[in-house]
């Protein structure tokens, strides 16, 4: 009986082909990450060229992120309450 979180497990049937596929998927994703990071860099560079204070902008982004997380915190509490009341 598998109380497995993900899928089913087929331990030692290690296929070199399948492994390669998985690794390449990871690498593709990491390229995406790198690309997006560069995009962000470009946006900041553009902002700077337009005369904005990049350092201040970074702070704004950080603050808004914290704010969003706070709301999430709140809704998590809400969910807990709803769940405790059998209304989840």
Report the residue number, 1 or 50, with the smaller CB distance to a second copy: 50
Torsion of CA 45, 46, 52, 57, to 10 degrees: -60
82 binds a second copy (CB under 8 A): no
Minimum distance, C-beta of residue 25 to a second copy, in the bound complex (Å)? 5
* CA end-to-end span of the chain: 28
Distant-in-sequence, close-in-space partners of 8: CB < 8 Å, separation ≥ 6 = 2
Q: Which residues bind a second copy (CB under 8 A)?
A: 4-14, 18-19, 22-23, 25-27, 29-30, 32-33, 36-37, 39-40, 43-53, 55-57, 59-67, 69-70, 73-74, 76-77, 80-81, 84
């Amino acid at each position: 009986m598998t109380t497995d979180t993900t899928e089913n497990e087929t331990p030692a049937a290690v296929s070199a082909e399948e492994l390669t596929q998985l690794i390449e998927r990871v690498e593709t994703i990491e390229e995406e990450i790198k690309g997006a990071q560069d995009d962000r860099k470009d946006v900041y560079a553009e902002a700077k060229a337009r005369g904005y204070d990049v350092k201040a902008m970074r702070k704004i982004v950080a603050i808004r992120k914290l704010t969003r997380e706070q709301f999430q915190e709140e809704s998590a509490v809400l969910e807990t309450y709803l769940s405790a009341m059998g209304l989840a």
